[in-house]
Amino acid sequence: MLVLAGCNSSLFFLGGQITNDSDSPSLSAPSVGDDGESELTLLPPVPGSAQWLAESSFTVSSLEKGRIGYLEAWGGDEFGYSYSYTLTGAPTGLTVDAETGMMSLSSPLSPGDYSFVVTVTNRKVISKSSQYIVKVHVLEGVTANRTGTQILHKTYNVDDSARFGSPTGSDYSTVLMNIHNTIIADQEAAGDGNLRATIQFRRNTLYQYANNRWPWGIQYLTVQTNPVDDPSLSRPQLQGTGTTGWNSLQGTIIRVGQSWGYNYNATDEANYENPRAYAYKIQTTTVGSNQIILKNPGDGTHIKPGRYHMVISYDQQMYGFPPNNRYFEYVKVVSVVGSVVTLDRKIRHIHRDDALEVNDPNSLGKARIVALDRGGVGGVNPRQNRLVLRSTWHDLEFVANPDGTEIQGEMVQMEGVLDAELNNCVMPHLVPSNLRHGRLVNSVLGSSEGDKQVGMFIVDSSQFQEAMLEYTSTDFLFLRNSQSATMSLMPRQLRIQNSVMDATNENYITVPLYVRGPWSTQKIEIVGTNITRTDTAIFAVGSGNPEPRAVLGTDATWSGNRLIIPLSSPEAERWVSAAWEGAIVLQGSLPPTSFGVIRKISAPVTNDAIYLDIDWLEGVQPTSGTVRMHYIHDLSIDATSTMGGQIYWLDPDAIKQTMPASMSTTNERQFPEKYPAASYGF
């Protein structure tokens, strides 16, 4: 039995876009099922709290432990990933990371259905909370002779020469591809989602391979050290030896999964970039709805129920690969009826069908649904790989390609995966990309570059010896209990907690945190963190320059409240990159005394300009002079954070910024009084 004590409707915030869902069905909790054992009562949701969970039902094996998935709340009146999570009535051993929503099992559960309550609390205003029912389905796990709904667990030992062949010296290329082929065959025999594969490597051993794609297409994969080995021995070393070169497939150390924009399988040598091939245009979406409408009903034959897709829009770069999209969300399709596609979760963003889209084949600006899980029986292209759903790598060292002519040879490509984790690993350079959830824990690495369509990336108890770069088209980057060198970052949301930002001896990027643009960062939170540099005087936080500017009458013109910036303007690209719905456009200096708010971004059918619909809220809408934006919207540094060494404060020109008095007594700013902060989550 399920008891709902109440529900609310309110204006709620969706990461830079607003909507008014006055009949919010999202507050109906998911069904508890027919177990008949529990009566779960939900407290009334407080107005402004989260409106829904992306997923509320999870399936695991009775042999599994470790992380099983993420709770993701959305739709409240705070920005983006702004919730904490607590569980009530969960089975013993099942816990949730309060700040990330990651659910984990410390020990396996017996087969059956488990229902419990999650309380979702706003971070900023903790009096705002809502509750939801979560259900975990535990199916029987077996190690052989799988039948029915059982989940098969199998281990594949790289040094089992009787099964997979022998290496040539330290070259395990053939061995690893034999393992790959065996796992894929076992996966197909077990059925969709019914195999948990583990590949084991021996300590104190170097494993080289020319094909770095041996993990591809394996839905649930764990790669780890052989547990019988002496833990005092050095980690297994994995080293790709394929030919490096610009944009080659085989040059990186490892490719955990396949980027959705590539069209090839695990043995192709050609590099086919064609992100539009499986991307189908849709009508402008409605926030809070679980349905989208195809522009062409015939495209419905390419959308496969039960498989993961991505709803995507707003190209904020207009070129490059992977596509640099502002809005993206990973979804599973439930059904397709004519042009109506029903999803397993609610849409977070307004994906606009009149967004800017240039002729570059890698530009995906207009709203689309992209087939991610394309391969295998029943897929839209059976020859391609299945989407990697969960990939976990433990106790490994990734060694740079001996062909050191390109930085590519140092890369660990954590891409094309729904959920990936690197735990207690060492590597020279990490590239998260096309990743819904990623986690780096207890690891040491040289540097990192986030490369688009990353939903949430968590850095826990890890150390970067060199720079963290980019993380554009990343919804949420979270560093906790970690140490970074310099950071030159552009995620939409950044939180650094209980960490050290130490730029000592850095000569390329000298500032501990540099938000350089051209893509905007809407929210930065620094909590309990030391910002330091001991060898030279430098400022703590910097902002990119030049910021987006437009000279009225030259770079841009008004048509009513619509600012039209033709792509022929030298300033257009900066505006396309930085503008977002909810951003402040101002004339003059900070704090703004003459400003407006971008309410909608679109383009003409000719795609030769960007349209910014702006409500001018303070002062008179200007007809001459220069209007501009700032890259940082909301920066907060809490009172427990400090500046060390020779670090000093220099105003980074965030629209709103708060920091301890020990850092600055003159640069603290609030949003302008007339800015509708609550409507946009600030």
370-399 pLDDT tens trace: 999 999 999 998 988 999 999 999 999 999
pLDDT of residue 208: 98
Q: Which pair of structure tokens corresponds to residue 243?
A: 């030919």
Q: In the CATH hierarchy, which fold is given to the domain comprising 2-139? A: Immunoglobulin-like (2.60.40)
Lowest mean pLDDT across 34-43, 98-107, 489-498, 535-544? 34-43
Average pLDDT over residues 617-640: 97
Q: What is the mean pLDDT of residues 592-613?
A: 98
More confident of the two residues 407 and 50: 50
pLDDT digits (tens, 9 = 90+) for 260-269: 877 665 555 5
Average pLDDT on 484-496 reads 96
* Mean pLDDT in residue range 93-117: 98
pLDDT at 546 over 90: no
Segment 45-59, tens digit of pLDDT: 999 999 999 999 999
Average pLDDT over residues 517-524: 94
Task: State mean pLDDT over 183-201.
Answer: 98
The answer to pTM > 0.75 is yes
Per-residue pLDDT for 22 more than 60?
no
| All structural domains of the chain with their residue ranges | 2-139, 151-258+386-478, 279-371, 549-630
pLDDT at 37: 42
pLDDT reported for residue 337: 98
Q: With 90 as the cut, is the pLDDT of residue 166 above it?
A: yes
**pLDDT value, residue 268:** 57
pLDDT over 80 at 11, yes or no: no
Q: pLDDT: is 458 or 18 the higher one?
A: 458
How much is the pLDDT for 9? 32
Question: Measured between alpha carbons, how far is 359 from 361 in angstroms, rounded to an integer?
Answer: 6
pLDDT in tens, 215-224: 999 999 999 9
> In degrees rounded to 5, what are phi and psi of residue 185?
-65, -45
pLDDT, position 406:
67
Residue 544 is predicted with a pLDDT of 82
Pairing of β 325-337 and β 340-343:
antiparallel
Lowest mean pLDDT among 84-93, 126-135, 635-644, 672-681: 672-681
Strand 493-497 versus strand 521-527 pairing type: parallel
For the segment 478-497, the average pLDDT, to the nearest whole number, is: 97
So what's the pLDDT on residue 250?
83
Task: Report pLDDT for 10.
Answer: 34
Q: Can you give the pLDDT at residue 18?
A: 44
- Cβ atoms of residues 459 and 438 within 8 Å: no
What percentage of the chain exceeds 90 in pLDDT? Answer: 84
Burial (0-12, 13-18, 19+ Cβ within 10 Å), 159: middle
Task: Give me the mean pLDDT over the 284-301 stretch.
Answer: 98
Q: Considering the chain, what is the average pLDDT of its residues? A: 92
Q: What is the number of alpha carbons within 13 Å of residue 553 lying toward its C-beta? A: 5
pLDDT in the model for residue 592: 95
Burial label, 36 (beta-carbon count in 10 A; 0-12, 13-18, 19+): exposed
Annotate 556-608 with DSSP letters as a single string: BEEETTEEEEETTSTTHHHHHHH--TT-EEESSSSSPSSEEEEEEEE--TT-S
3-state secondary structure of 257: coil
What is the C-alpha separation between 124 and 5, in angstroms, rounded?
24
